[in-house]
Amino acid sequence: MSYTSKSPVTVAREALYAAEDALPLYAHKFSPRKFTQPQLFACLVLKTFFKTDYRGVTIYLEDLPELARTLRLDNVPHYTTLQKATQRLLTLPAANRLLTATVYRALGQRRRVALAAFDSTGLQCGHASSYYVRRRARGRKDWQVTTYKHFAKLEAAVDCESHLVIAAIPRRGPRVDTDRFVPLLEGALRRVRLGAVLADAGYDSEPNHRHARDKHGVRSFIPATAGRPTTKPPTGRYRRQMKQRLNKDYGRYGQRWQVETVFSLIKRRLGSVVQARSYWSQCRELMLLAIVYNLLILAEL
């Protein structure tokens, strides 16, 4: 079981170190050079850590000089500087480099993961109260249940032992998970060597098994429940094996629930609401959540 740090100073220090490994000091040779990119990224990490906005994190930095000294800040950046830095530092390629830096710093030279679990989770895109969601319809006595068309969705590959997020894909739900297995696997293999992959029935697909086992030599364990109910065995080779043998290997497959623990930790420590409104802003915020969560674990190692 991994522990997450409660110290903003320690988390800010680890964020600064990870960003120095993943990002250049300045975005351009003609940049003003008032703040480095690692310093601005560490400020964004603190914004997520404190569950506040851009204005709020600047107040924290002004009121807590120890944080500013940890980040080697001579001046506190304006909140608009942080907002513009988000668009530049959390693009998908840059966010993936930052996530890679956290994984490498946590695992060191031991970049092999015996068991990894794949799953997805949804996060709210607003602050509607539970009373508003469960409200009474006009002219009716029963409670009305409000459903929303879209929500922010984070696909993640998690190390079952250390609880690190080793791959993440931001998107918008509701969407099926079948076509996300291969991108998650490829993202994880770019960072670590995998022994086996555990996923729920949402990823059930014979091509997914073939891609993991035949192309990469990674053992995949997914319940073969997709399709119409029938007493006949599945037609695919690997899905037939899952139908026949997965219950016998339940001790290993039971570790898939480690990914649910990770999602619970992210929502309890960093919040379950995505404040951004546009699609790409939500993607940046989701990737930042995954990176900050890794930093919370890294700060306790």
Show the 3-state SS of 121-171: EEEECCCCCHHHHEEECCCCCCEEECCCCCEEEEEEEEECCCCCEEEEEEE
Question: Model confidence over 103-114: pLDDT tens digits?
Answer: 999 998 888 999
pLDDT value of position 244? 84
Do 138 and 260 lie in a common domain?
yes
Helices (DSSP H) in 222-278: which residue ranges? 237-245, 250-253, 258-270
For residue 65, give its domain range. Answer: 8-89
pLDDT value of position 82? 96
pLDDT value of position 233? 81
pLDDT value of position 277? 86
Do 80 and 29 lie in a common domain?
yes
pLDDT value of position 145? 63
Determine, yes or no, domain membership for 19. yes
Determine, yes or no, domain membership for 249. yes
pLDDT value of position 13? 95
pLDDT value of position 103? 96
pLDDT value of position 71? 95
pLDDT value of position 141? 63
* Residue with token string 């966010």: 95
Do 114 and 255 lie in a common domain?
yes
Do 170 and 210 lie in a common domain?
yes
Do 166 and 265 lie in a common domain?
yes
pLDDT value of position 295? 96
Q: How many CB atoms lie within 10 A of CB 258?
A: 21
pLDDT value of position 133? 63
- Name the token pair of 255: 């570790």
Residues in a beta bridge with 156 = 119, 168
Residues in a beta bridge with 171 = 153
**Number of domains observed in the structure of the chain:** 2
pLDDT value of position 173? 85
Determine, yes or no, domain membership for 198. yes
Determine, yes or no, domain membership for 103. no
CATH code where residue 266 lies? 3.30.420
pLDDT value of position 231? 79
Report the largest interatomic distance among the alpha carbons of the chain, rounded to a whole angstrom. Answer: 70
Segments of the chain scoring below 70 in pLDDT:
1, 129-149, 248-251
Give phi and psi for 160, each to the nearest 5. Answer: -65, -20
Do 12 and 149 lie in a common domain?
no
Do 82 and 115 lie in a common domain?
no
Do 254 and 186 lie in a common domain?
yes
Three-state SS at 219: strand
Do 157 and 233 lie in a common domain?
yes
